[in-house]
C-alpha cells in the first residue's frame, strides 16, 4: 500500500476532510490571507445584498489547498444561501449539469472544482445558464426533436481551477470576478494554525510549534492543517502530550518532511535531475519515466513549490537544477 504523502495539497481522505471542514471559517471576516481578493469580495457582496441580487459569478484559480472551496462556502453563507459542490469530471453529460442547476434556489451557489475538465458538450449548457438563467434542453432527435427551455432561479457559479490556461475563452469571459490565489506567507499560516489549535483543543501548544509547522507547510493552509493534526497525534502517543518544537521535529522526521517542507518525493525529483540528467535541462516526461511516476502529479504537486523555492528552473529546453537546488541536495 502506497504511503500517504502528507505535504500534498490534494483533498484529504474523507475522515480527515471532515476534521478539516470543522476548521474552515464561515464568515469573510474570519478568512485569513488573500487580502486583495477578500476586499474585492467584501465590496461585491455588500453591493449585491443592498440590491437584492445574486452574487456575480466568480472564477478562482491557483494551486490546490489555498482556500477556493472555503471561499465558495463563505460566499454562500454571506448571501444567506446554500452551496452545492461538484467537480468538472463528475459532470460527464448535460443531464448531470441540468440536474444540479434545476435544484438550486434563488441566490444559491454552485461550486465546480476543476472546472477546466468540463466536457465540451456540458460546457455549452453553462453559457445560457450563467447569462440568462435558463437552459435549452433538446428532447428526442431527428424530425421529432424539440427544444425545452428550463427557467432557472438566479444563482452564482463559482469555478475553481489549478490550470486557468486550459479554460476556454467563452467560459472565462462569463465570470464577473476572476482572481489568482497566491501562496500564503508564514505569518498568515501561523494565524490559521493558532485558530485551528483552539478547535482541536490544543490549548497547551507553545507558540514555537506554530512557527515550526508553518515553515514546513509549503505556503499552503491545507498542508499546514494536516501537519498540525499529525503533530497533535504524535504528541498524544509518543511525547506525553507535550506540544513543543522538539515534538514537531520528531513528528516530521517520522513523516520524512524536512525543515523546508520537502519530502521524499521532492528530494527524489531533485536527485533524478542531478544524478541521472547531470542537472538538466531535461523534459518532464523523461523525469517522470525515470521516477516511475505520473508527469501530471509532478507538474501539479511537486514542481510549484520547488519553483517557488528556486530549486528548479523551467526553461524552453526543460527542467534544470539551480545552484540553490544543488546546495540543498548537498546538505540534505
Q: Which of 113, 188, 263, 266 is catalytic?
A: 113
Specify whether 3 is catalytic.
Answer: no
Specify whether 162 is catalytic.
Answer: yes
Cβ atoms < 10 Å from Cβ of 77: 16
Q: In what order do the strands lie in the sheet with 83-87?
A: 83-87, 109-113, 156-161, 58-61, 177-180
Please answer whether residues 68 and 112 qualify as being in contact, where contact means their C-beta atoms are separated by less than 8 angstroms: no
Specify whether 68 is catalytic.
Answer: yes
User: Which helix or strand (DSSP H or E) is residue 18 part of?
Assistant: helix 14-23
Q: Which of 68, 216, 229, 319 is catalytic?
A: 68
Q: Which of 222, 226, 229, 230 is catalytic?
A: 222
Q: Which of 5, 8, 24, 69 is catalytic?
A: 69
Q: Which of 8, 162, 247, 322 is catalytic?
A: 162
Q: What are phi and psi of 161, to 5 degrees?
A: -150, 145
What distance in Å separates the CA atoms of residue 218 and residue 195, rounded to the nearest whole number? Answer: 19
Specify whether 247 is catalytic.
Answer: no
The label of the residue with cell 463563505 reads 74
Specify whether 102 is catalytic.
Answer: no
Please answer whether residues 113 and 86 qualify as being in contact, where contact means their C-beta atoms are separated by less than 8 angstroms: yes
- By annotation, the residues acting in catalysis are 68-69, 113, 162, 222
Amino acid at each position: 500500500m502506497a504511503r500517504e504523502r502528507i505535504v500534498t495539497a490534494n483533498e484529504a481522505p474523507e475522515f480527515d476532510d471532515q476534521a478539516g471542514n470543522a476548521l474552515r471559517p464561515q464568515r469573510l471576516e474570519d478568512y485569513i490571507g488573500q487580502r486583495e481578493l477578500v476586499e474585492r469580495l467584501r465590496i461585491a457582496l455588500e453591493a449585491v445584498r443592498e440590491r437584492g441580487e445574486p452574487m456575480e459569478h466568480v472564477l478562482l484559480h491557483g494551486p490546490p489547498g489555498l482556500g477556493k472551496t472555503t471561499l465558495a462556502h463563505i460566499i454562500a453563507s454571506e448571501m444567506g444561501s446554500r452551496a452545492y459542490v461538484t467537480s468538472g469530471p463528475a459532470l460527464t453529460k448535460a443531464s448531470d449539469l441540468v440536474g444540479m442547476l434545476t435544484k438550486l434556489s434563488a441566490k444559491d451557489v454552485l461550486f465546480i472544482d476543476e472546472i477546466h475538465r468540463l466536457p465540451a458538450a456540458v460546457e455549452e449548457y453553462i453559457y445560457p445558464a450563467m447569462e440568462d438563467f435558463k437552459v435549452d434542453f433538446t428532447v428526442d432527435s431527428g424530425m421529432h426533436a424539440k427544444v425545452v427551455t428550463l427557467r432557472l432561479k438566479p444563482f452564482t457559479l463559482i469555478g475553481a481551477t489549478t490550470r486557468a490556461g486550459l479554460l476556454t475563452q467563452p467560459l472565462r469571459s462569463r465570470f464577473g470576478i476572476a482572481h489568482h490565489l497566491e501562496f500564503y506567507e508564514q505569518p498568515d499560516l501561523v494565524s490559521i494554525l493558532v485558530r485551528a489549535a483552539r478547535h482541536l483543543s490544543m490549548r497547551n501548544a507553545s507558540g514555537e510549534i506554530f512557527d515550526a509547522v508553518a515553515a514546513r507547510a509549503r505556503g499552503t493552509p491545507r498542508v499546514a492543517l494536516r501537519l498540525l493534526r499529525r503533530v497533535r497525534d504524535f504528541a498524544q502517543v509518543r511525547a506525553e502530550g507535550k506540544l513543543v518544537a522538539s515534538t514537531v521535529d520528531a513528528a516530521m522526521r517520522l513523516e520524512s518532511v524536512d525543515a523546508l517542507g520537502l519530502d521524499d518525493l521532492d528530494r527524489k525529483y531533485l536527485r533524478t535531475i542531478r544524478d541521472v540528467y547531470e542537472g538538466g535541462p531535461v523534459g518532464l516526461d523523461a523525469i517522470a519515466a525515470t521516477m516511475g511516476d505520473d508527469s501530471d502529479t509532478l507538474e501539479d504537486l511537486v514542481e510549484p513549490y520547488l519553483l517557488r523555492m528556486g530549486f528548479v528552473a523551467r526553461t524552453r529546453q526543460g527542467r534544470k537544477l539551480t545552484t540553490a537546488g544543488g546546495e540543498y541536495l548537498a546538505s540534505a
